[in-house]
Structure 1
Amino acid sequence: MAVIGIMSAMQEELAAVLAAMPHEHRITVAGRDFWVGHWQGHSVVVVLSRIGKVAAATTATVLLERFAVDTLVFTGVAGGLGAGVRVGDVVVANGFVQHDMDASPLFPRHEVPMYGRARFEADAELALQLAKASAQVLADAALHLGAGTLADFQLHAPRMHQGLVISGDRFVSASAESQVLRQALPEALAVEMEGAAVAQVCHDFGVPFAAVRTISDRADDTAHTDFQRFIREVASRYSLAIVSRWLSRRQPA
């Protein structure tokens, strides 16, 4: 049977997913807890990615090697960069770039040495499936979040976007840095700290990968202060609903 890996960036997301897996069991490898079980009729392994590219790459490698995962989905939050990408929207990545990769002058800026590329693509079919699930969940946002939560966070008609997500080993929270990233990578819709590294690992193993990121802020000086509440009441609920809907419509292999 096919095994689906689900990496969550935040502990709150992981807890929400585990609550939907009543018979999971834990296996600890490389200091990480991997939860093995079933969800929506599929064999799944769920794990906290940890923060940053190296930590996430290690987690992904263990998933693929030790647990023979043959499809990998990442959920988490990100800062919005693209025009029209607002707090409470969801970005489904169709490609990933490490914005802090720079081995010039030996290689062009952003290109990963020895790969001949800067961009690692998401699996097109997997990304399409997640995009459909995301759009359906956002269409019923009040059902999943509650009208009070939508009002508290001023989330008006949240939207799903598909495009480039960029990753780097620093938390982007200043307008000046966001502007630099937009100029260097104008196609980028969102910025986070893990996705491009996981995409590179999945490229090496030939395993389909895609990521769903809820926009928690605009990666600038206007970031809201109640980040943990946003994770708990918005991002984790989106992630749970999106992955659950995707799995429920995916044919068991």
Structure 2
Amino acid sequence: MKTDFALIMALPSESKGLFEQAGIDVHYSGIGKVNAAFKAFEVIQKTGCKTLLNLGTAGSTHFQAHELVEVHTFVQRDMDVSPLGFQVGETPMDTDFPAEISLECSFADLPKGICGTGDSFETGRPKVACQLVDMEGYALAKVCKKLGVRLISVKYITDGADDTAHLDWEENLLLGAQKLLKLYQSL
């Protein structure tokens, strides 16, 4: 499987250099939906991969810190055009893609969840139904769907998406990188 896929993460701090030390090629998108969409497109075009593997961190009020969770659906938690009569999370006039993008799951032993993506570091309850939050996933999913590339996404829960999330995220990055690397090496 490793020959037909590319690995994408948001930031080098999410891998803590462990992937590079193991000789694994990682593509870093940067933070946010625009950076993620651009990098995903670039990686797919450059590598010709059939699967894009997204490993990274997320916050959650539903899952426990230090858990690995496979995303089965991505939604946009910050797309809000409700004053014009649209549902929160729905992109107006985008008839090709629904507000939810579902993925095929690959890891039977991991819990599954809906991830809400937004261009903000979430520290409260999102406006859309989701069990974990990130800042890049929906954009990755949309690019992959448009280009016919499979997306697999596994998130390490670093924090409770609350008022101490920024501190918990920093503190838990190394353990997250270790768990994500172990998962990658199990493929």
**TM-score (ref. length: structure 2):** 0.88
Alignment correspondent of 2:133 = 191
Alignment correspondent of 1:93 = 71
Alpha-carbon deviations, 1:209-232, whole Å to 9, x = none? 021111111001243735434212
Alpha-carbon deviations, 1:102-152, whole Å to 9, x = none? 234264331123235101111x1xx22xx24xx4xxxxxxxxxxxxxxxxx
Task: For 1:1-253, list aligned pairs within 5 A.
Answer: 2-12=3-13, 13=15, 15-21=17-23, 45-82=25-62, 85-104=63-82, 105=84, 107-113=86-92, 114=94, 115-122=96-103, 124=104, 127-128=105-106, 131-132=107-108, 135=109, 160-173=110-123, 177-178=124-125, 181=126, 184-186=127-129, 188-223=130-165, 225=167, 227-232=169-174, 234-246=175-187
Instruction: Specify the SS of the correspondent of 1:225.
Output: helix
Q: Retained in 1: the 8 A contact 2:156–2:176?
A: yes
Moved more, 216-225 or 96-105: 216-225
User: Separation in 1 of the partners of 2:97 and 2:64?
Assistant: 33
User: Relative to 1, partners in 2 of residues 1:2 and 1:227: Cα closer, same or farther, differing over 3 Å?
Assistant: closer
- Computed over aligned residues only, the root mean square deviation of the Cα atoms, in angstroms, reads 2.1
| One-letter amino acid of the counterpart of residue 109, structure 1 | V
Q: Retained in 2: the 8 A contact 1:2–1:70?
A: no
User: Separation in 2 of the partners of 1:189 and 1:226?
Assistant: 18
| One-letter amino acid of the counterpart of residue 128, structure 2 | L
- Give the number of the structure whose residues are more often helix, by fraction: 1
User: Separation in 2 of the partners of 1:189 and 1:230?
Assistant: 19
Aligned identity (percent) is 29
Instruction: Specify the SS of the correspondent of 2:186.
Output: helix
**TM-score (ref. length: structure 1):** 0.66
User: Separation in 1 of the partners of 2:151 and 2:60?
Assistant: 21
For these two proteins, the number of residue pairs brought into alignment is 182
- In the alignment, structure 1 segments of 5+ residues that lack a partner are 22-38, 40-44, 136-159, 247-253
User: Structure 1 segments of 4 or more deviating over 4 A?
Assistant: none
Q: Retained in 2: the 8 A contact 1:81–1:191?
A: no
Q: Retained in 1: the 8 A contact 2:144–2:151?
A: yes
Instruction: Specify the SS of the correspondent of 1:59.
Output: helix
Q: Retained in 2: the 8 A contact 1:8–1:14?
A: no
User: Separation in 2 of the partners of 1:118 and 1:230?
Assistant: 31
User: Relative to 1, partners in 2 of residues 1:93 and 1:226: Cα closer, same or farther, differing over 3 Å?
Assistant: closer
Deviation at 1:65, TM superposition (A): 1.1
| One-letter amino acid of the counterpart of residue 225, structure 1 | L
Q: Retained in 1: the 8 A contact 2:88–2:128?
A: no
Greater radius of gyration (CA): 1
Instruction: Specify the SS of the correspondent of 1:74.
Output: strand
Deviation at 1:93, TM superposition (A): 0.2
